[in-house]
């Protein structure tokens, strides 16, 4: 008989309880009959046999006790008992479950975010075996390789397969009547087989497509839904990518979101078809062709060092010395290639979700953990109070022979029931919270957000709930086992002045106050950061302007440029009612745009040895500064006549500070290099500084140039995407629709994206800070409420215990005011200790989150102080009711109660 | 559930196991036969009833030292027959030597060895 059989034997009565009892009964009857045969006939042998065997109930119970049934019976009893107990005090149960739900829910929600954004492995087969080939060396050249390098590296052994992909962003798509733009991946023929996904519909891109340069496309499940309403007819139909027709051959599974994080897989075409959608031809060797990401699959993750050695050897012989580096200077330091795990995807440098969110997510996780701690502390005090109230009951049961272990188990079961209820409610709360949070996350991230009830998230929630039980349930259980048998039984409602063991609940309340101090301080800091950022003078007008992106790619205007009809467009826009001025530009503060950079030299400025002078250019139409509310400091604005002749430029004050300090900026010349051409521009004006992408960053040195002149610089490509901004005289939101119409009337087919008021752009740019401030405030408020409940509990308990003493005091002439003060004093003393304990923690917390704060250096102490004052106020409010009760004690009644 | 007065059963538990396992070395037996054999061979000194036999059998089974199966008895009735397992035999050996040691020690104390 194996151990397993023995175990199964022990479980047998659980699974087939009735059969177990019946068999036992049959066995005993058989025994009795045989035994009865020993006794002489006529002497009632059956009765004698029964007498000999003893009480059947007893030995049946004893037999059962040998099985797991006994343990389960006890557990069932405890569960029923706990359930009855909890139902009998609905107020307690509600508070307990609600505070646990908030604590557990907050943790689950934040963990779920962290999991889906940062920890979730790629949805491909065996992601741990996927590796990205990366450059190693003094200066990391990043992950890009040329096609020639890729072809050479393919000869490396050690990989199950090696593949590469590239991509083109913002490709204009016409599909099923929908005009939009998406990111298109361009993948080698063995890409999908290497990463290991299967098509949801149709087929994926294969080697034949790559060889044949087939204009075929695989789309994502989301795009299938958006463009074709998930119709099977999508397969074989044609969509247009940047004007070129592609045949849809398959749909990728929903779980596949590309290899980059955050994922936003829309469509994939063969690598050889990339030029059709605007990418560089893949065979082109040389400077700017290093755009491929190379991905390899290994038989086992353990092979990585060996494979890295092999591919580096190939790289050394083929490519390390080749002039295949990027065009910029100083890339010779690249010494080799290595492998980086792709298990959690490539963190895209353009939109680095790790950098953007990991910090605040872990900060919020810490806050959520503190909330849970506060909730557990709260529950701990509540349970202790209940245990105190049940002291007599426990003492009675102990004296009647209940084992202390059994009583402790019962208390733990009660805690576990609470934790289970809190956990389930917490999951619901987390789901709801995540939906709210999703609104604050940037577009590409939102798709991945949602409560994913995966094993990891459920496991985490369960672990949190168990930790909670251990935190708050063990104390009362331990306390129960230490119940003094004699004292509670003798003490028939005797009023006391001093209470035994009161230190325990008081120190828990102190801990709660300390936690609340930390969280309220954090909330204050985050809210102040948001306020500071909102109050930052960005250097542009923050109301009554609307911006929209105008996209000429894939249209007839792409080759001629938008500048060609800019004047006509501006004239048409100016006729829209409510528009006071309008301008086109490449970039607009907070709204966005693309950054144009070029090497520059400023006359009269000598760069330091290592300084690389790169200027940011923003081509704009006349009236841009007035439209954006950027002040002209000196000189003149651009005029319509700045079209031919001398190239002119307007710089901002940051530019003057850096390159033209102490000189008259007007008339200074700036040389800029556009491929082979050098353009000399003359500064004709200086404008105020405007912040662009991030309000935290000071304005960069900027060079504004007339759009009409910029388009004529030979080396500067036509700008296919521009931002149109209008200043309105009234309601800016009402201008959005006419604006879109005006653009499309002037130039049919142009893409017009997101007319957005400056207010909306500002809010979007502060989404992350808003989310942090909102969550931190919520956490702080919860911690405050929990501290208030804890304080109320302790204070009112003390008042109830001291009723007799208060009665004596009042009988001896104490004024109600002094009684009230006596009660308040207790609460304030607890808060003071809590603040003293919590202050260093709050300072530490403030230091830990310093990197996410803005404009608050050296101000933390005010926030700690403010939080302390707030807590004192909460203490007064929480003890108001018990204090009133104390002041109303009638000495006669209180003393007679004895 | 009130705790049972355990001292008696605990004191005897080891001995009861020893007696049952030893008895089962004779072969497959049902509960009554086990009790009868112990009574018989101890010349009616040891009585295996009062609710200790079946709990003990249950315990021995849950430890894997004994198995049981229902079978027809000679009288034609269904009865549960118990068999000692290999690990039960090993356990019996240990128990016997432990018991021998104990009884030898007691005998020495009593000055009889």
Rounded to the nearest 5°, which phi and psi values hold at A787?
-65, -40
Residues A209 and A106 occupy one common structural domain: no
- A311: CB partners within 8 A, 6+ apart: A133, A153, A156, A158, A159, A296, A337, A339
Residues of A with CB below 8 A from B35's CB? 31
Instruction: List the single residue in A with minimal CA-CA distance to B47.
Output: A52
Residues A360 and A426 occupy one common structural domain: yes
Residue B27: CB atoms within 10 Å: 11
In this predicted structure, what is the pLDDT of residue A606? Answer: 85
- How many separate helices (H) and strands (E) can be counted in chain A? 31, 25
In this predicted structure, what is the pLDDT of residue A263? Answer: 61
Residues of B with CB below 8 A from A53's CB? 49-51
State whether the Cα torsion A655-A660-A664-A665 is positive or negative. negative
Instruction: List the single residue in B with minimal CA-CA distance to A23.
Output: B80
Q: Helical H runs in A298-340?
A: 304-318
Residue A547 lies in a domain: no
Distance from CA of A488 to the nearest CA of B (A): 21
In this predicted structure, what is the pLDDT of residue A684? Answer: 95
Q: Which stretches of chain A sit within 8 Å of chain B by CB?
A: 1-3, 5-6, 9-10, 23-24, 26-28, 30-31, 34-35, 52-55, 58-59, 62-63, 65-67, 73-74, 77, 400-403, 406
Domain B7-109 top-level CATH class: mainly alpha
- Cβ contact, residue pair B30, A62, below 8 Å: no
In this predicted structure, what is the pLDDT of residue A378? Answer: 82
Pairing of strands A669-674, A130-137: unpaired
| Nearest of A287, A339, A291 to residue A314 by alpha carbon | A339
In this predicted structure, what is the pLDDT of residue A442? Answer: 63
Angle between helices A404-438 and A391-399 (to 10 degrees): 140
In this predicted structure, what is the pLDDT of residue A790? Answer: 83
Domain of A9, in residue numbers:
3-66
Tokens of B107: 């005998």
In this predicted structure, what is the pLDDT of residue A284? Answer: 43
Residues A158 and A274 occupy one common structural domain: yes
CA-to-CA distance for B49 and B85, rounded, in angstroms? 23
Residue A483 lies in a domain: yes
Residues of B with CB below 8 A from A65's CB? 4, 55
Residue A540 lies in a domain: no
Residues A109 and A139 occupy one common structural domain: no
In this predicted structure, what is the pLDDT of residue A453? Answer: 62
Instruction: List the single residue in B with minimal CA-CA distance to A397.
Output: B2
Which residues partner with A721 through β-bridges?
A551
Tokens of A196: 């290991």
pLDDT digits (tens, 9 = 90+) for B34-64: 988 888 888 877 777 657 788 888 888 888 8
- Cβ contact, residue pair A31, B31, below 8 Å: yes
Interface ipTM: 0.80
Residues of A with CB below 8 A from B79's CB? 27, 30
- Cβ contact, residue pair B35, A401, below 8 Å: no
Residues A220 and A324 occupy one common structural domain: yes
Spell out, as residue ranges, where chain A has pLDDT lower than 70. 1-16, 53, 65-70, 119-120, 137-143, 261-263, 278-290, 320-335, 347-356, 442-454, 480-481, 483-502, 553-555, 559, 675, 715-718, 732-733, 897-898
> CB-CB: which of B2, B59, B73 is closest to A401?
B2
In this predicted structure, what is the pLDDT of residue A163? Answer: 93
Residues of A with CB below 8 A from B82's CB? none
Last residue of a domain, one of A21, A45, A66: A66
pLDDT digits (tens, 9 = 90+) for A578-598: 889 999 998 888 877 777 878
Is residue A176 classed exposed, middle or buried when 0-12, 13-18 and 19+ CB atoms within 10 A define those classes? middle
Q: Which stretches of chain B sit within 8 Å of chain A by CB?
A: 1-4, 30-32, 35-36, 49-52, 54-55, 58-59, 61-64, 67, 70, 73, 77-80, 85, 87
Residues A77 and A62 occupy one common structural domain: no
- Cβ contact, residue pair A5, B64, below 8 Å: yes
A71-84: b or e for each residue (b if 16 or more CB lie within 10 Å)?
A: eeeeeeebeeebee
- Cβ contact, residue pair B54, A406, below 8 Å: no
In this predicted structure, what is the pLDDT of residue A296? Answer: 92
In this predicted structure, what is the pLDDT of residue A810? Answer: 86
CB A311 within 8 A of CB A339: yes
Residues A781 and A671 occupy one common structural domain: no
Residue A435 lies in a domain: yes
Instruction: Name the band, by pLDDT with cuts 50, 70 and 90, for residue B6.
Output: very low
Residues of A with CB below 8 A from B3's CB? 401-403, 406
When divided into structural domains, chain A yields a total of 5
Residue A676 lies in a domain: yes
Residues A193 and A258 occupy one common structural domain: yes
Residues A97 and A138 occupy one common structural domain: no
Residue A542 lies in a domain: no
pLDDT digits (tens, 9 = 90+) for A479-511: 766 766 666 555 554 444 444 456 777 888 899
Residue A734: CB atoms within 10 Å: 12
Residues A386 and A246 occupy one common structural domain: no
Q: Helical H runs in chain B?
A: 7-24, 31-41, 53-62, 86-109
CA-to-CA distance for A705 and A585, rounded, in angstroms? 10
The residue among A11, A28, A31, A60 with the most chain B CBs within 10 A of its CB, best to mutate, is: A31
Instruction: List the single residue in B with minimal CA-CA distance to A62.
Output: B55
In this predicted structure, what is the pLDDT of residue A13? Answer: 64
Last residue of a domain, one of A720, A749, A778: A749
| Nearest of A854, A596, A845 to residue A715 by alpha carbon | A596
- Cβ contact, residue pair A66, B55, below 8 Å: yes
| Nearest of A362, A382, A365 to residue A786 by alpha carbon | A382
Tokens of A725: 């901004």
- pLDDT greater than 60 at residue B3: no
Residues A142 and A102 occupy one common structural domain: no
Residue A548 lies in a domain: no
Q: Count A/B contacts: CB-CB distance under 8 Å.
A: 80
């Amino acid at each position: 008989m194996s151990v397993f059989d023995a175990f199964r034997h022990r479980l047998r009565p659980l699974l087939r309880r009735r059969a177990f009892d019946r068999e036992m009964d049959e066995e005993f009857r058989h025994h009795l009959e045989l035994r009865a045969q020993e006794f002489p006939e006529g002497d009632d042998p059956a009765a004698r046999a029964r007498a000999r065997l003893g009480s059947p109930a007893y030995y049946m119970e004893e037999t059962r006790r040998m099985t797991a049934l006994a343990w389960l019976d006890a557990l069932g009893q405890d569960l029923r008992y706990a359930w009855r107990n909890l139902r009998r005090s609905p107020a307690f149960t509600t508070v307990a479950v609600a505070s646990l739900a908030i604590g557990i829910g907050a943790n689950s929600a934040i963990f779920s975010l962290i999991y889906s954004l940062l920890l979730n492995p790629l949805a491909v087969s065996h992601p741990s075996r996927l590796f990205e080939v990366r450059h190693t060396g003094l200066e990391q050249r990043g992950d890009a390789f040329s096609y020639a390098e890729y072809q050479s590296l393919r000869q490396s052994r050690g990989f199950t397969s090696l593949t590469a992909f590239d991509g083109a962003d913002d490709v204009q798509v016409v599909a099923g009547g929908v005009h939009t733009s998406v990111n298109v991946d361009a993948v080698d023929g063995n890409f999908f087989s290497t990463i290991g996904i299967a098509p949801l519909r149709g087929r994926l891109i294969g080697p034949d497509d790559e060889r044949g340069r087939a204009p075929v496309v695989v789309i994502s499940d989301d795009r299938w839904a958006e463009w074709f309403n998930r119709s099977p007819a999508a397969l074989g139909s044609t969509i247009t990518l940047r004007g070129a027709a592609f045949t849809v051959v398959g749909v990728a599974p929903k779980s596949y979101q590309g290899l980059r994080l955050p994922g936003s897989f829309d469509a994939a075409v063969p690598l050889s078809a990339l030029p059709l959608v605007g990418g560089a031809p893949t065979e082109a060797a040389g400077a700017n062709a290093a755009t491929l990401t190379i991905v390899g699959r290994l038989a086992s993750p353990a092979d990585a060092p060996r494979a890295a050695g092999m591919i580096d050897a190939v790289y050394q012989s083929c490519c390390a010395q080749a002039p295949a580096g990027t065009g910029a200077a100083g890339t010779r330091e690249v010494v080799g290639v290595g492998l980086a795990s792709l298990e959690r995807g490539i963190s895209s440098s353009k939109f680095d979700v790790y950098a953007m969110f990991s910090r605040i997510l872990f900060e919020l996780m810490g806050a959520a953990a503190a909330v849970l701690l506060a909730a557990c502390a709260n529950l701990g005090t509540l349970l202790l109070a209940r245990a105190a109230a049940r002291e007599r009951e426990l003492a009675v049961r102990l004296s009647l022979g209940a084992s202390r272990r059994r009583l402790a188990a019962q208390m733990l079961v009660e805690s576990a029931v609470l934790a289970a209820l809190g956990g389930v409610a917490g999951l619901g709360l987390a789901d709801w919270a995540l939906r709210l949070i999703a609104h604050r996350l940037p577009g590409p991230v939102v798709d991945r957000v949602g409560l994913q009830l995966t094993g990891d998230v459920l496991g985490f929630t369960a672990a949190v709930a168990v930790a909670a039980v251990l935190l708050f349930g063990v104390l009362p259980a331990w306390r129960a086992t230490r119940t003094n048998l004699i004292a509670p039984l003798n003490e028939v409602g005797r009023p006391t002045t001093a209470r035994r063991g009161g230190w325990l609940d008081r120190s828990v309340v102190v801990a709660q106050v300390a936690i609340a101090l930390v969280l309220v301080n954090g909330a204050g800091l985050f809210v102040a950061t948001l306020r500071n950022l909102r109050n930052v003078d960005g250097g542009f007008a923050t109301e009554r302007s609307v911006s929209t992106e105008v996209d000429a790619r894939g249209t007839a205007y792409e080759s001629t440029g938008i500048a060609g009809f800019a004047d006509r467009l501006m004239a048409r826009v100016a006729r829209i009612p409510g528009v006071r001025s309008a301008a086109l530009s490449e970039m607009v503060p907070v709204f966005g745009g693309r950054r144009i950079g070029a090497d520059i030299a400023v006359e009269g400025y000598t760069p330091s040895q290592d300084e690389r002078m790169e200027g940011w250019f923003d081509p704009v139409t006349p009236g841009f500064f007035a439209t954006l509310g950027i002040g002209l400091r000196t000189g003149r604005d651009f005029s319509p006549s700045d079209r031919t002749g001398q190239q002119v430029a307007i710089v901002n004050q940051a530019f003057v500070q850096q390159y033209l300090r102490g000189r008259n900026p007007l008339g200074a010349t700036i040389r800029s290099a556009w491929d082979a051409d050098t353009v000399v521009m003359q500064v004709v004006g200086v404008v105020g500084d405007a912040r662009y992408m991030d309000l935290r960053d000071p304005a960069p040195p900027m060079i504004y140039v007339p759009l009409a002149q910029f388009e004529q610089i030979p080396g500067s490509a036509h700008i296919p995407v521009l931002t149109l901004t209008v200043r309105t005289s009234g309601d800016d939101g009402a201008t959005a629709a006419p604006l879109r119409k005006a653009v499309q009337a002037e130039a049919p087919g142009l893409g017009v994206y997101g007319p957005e008021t400056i207010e909306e752009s500002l809010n979007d740019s502060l989404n992350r800070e808003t989310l942090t401030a909102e969550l931190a405030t919520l956490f702080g408020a919860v911690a405050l409420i929990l501290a208030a409940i804890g304080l109320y509990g302790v204070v009112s308990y003390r008042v109830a215990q001291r009723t007799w003493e208060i009665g004596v005091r009042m009988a001896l002439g104490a004024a109600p005011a002094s009684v009230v003060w006596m009660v308040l004093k207790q609460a304030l003393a607890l808060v003071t200790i809590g603040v003293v304990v919590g202050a260093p923690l709050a300072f530490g917390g403030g230091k830990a989150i310093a990197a996410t704060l803005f404009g608050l250096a050296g101000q933390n102490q005010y926030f700690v102080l403010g939080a302390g004052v707030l807590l004192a106020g909460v203490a007064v409010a929480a003890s108001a009711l018990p204090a009133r009760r104390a002041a109303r004690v009638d000495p006669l009644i209180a003393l007679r109660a004895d | 559930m009130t705790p049972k007065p355990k001292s008696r059963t605990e004191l005897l538990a080891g001995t009861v196991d020893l007696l049952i396992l030893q008895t089962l070395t004779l072969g497959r037996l049902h509960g009554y036969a086990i009790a009868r054999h112990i009574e018989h061979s101890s010349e009616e000194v040891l009585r295996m009833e009062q609710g200790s036999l079946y709990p003990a059998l249950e315990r021995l089974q849950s430890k894997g030292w004994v198995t049981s199966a229902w079978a027809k008895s000679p009288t034609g009735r269904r009865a549960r027959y118990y068999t000692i397992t290999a690990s039960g035999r090993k356990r019996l050996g240990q128990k016997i030597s432990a018991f021998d040691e104990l009884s030898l020690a007691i005998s020495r104390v009593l000055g009889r060895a």
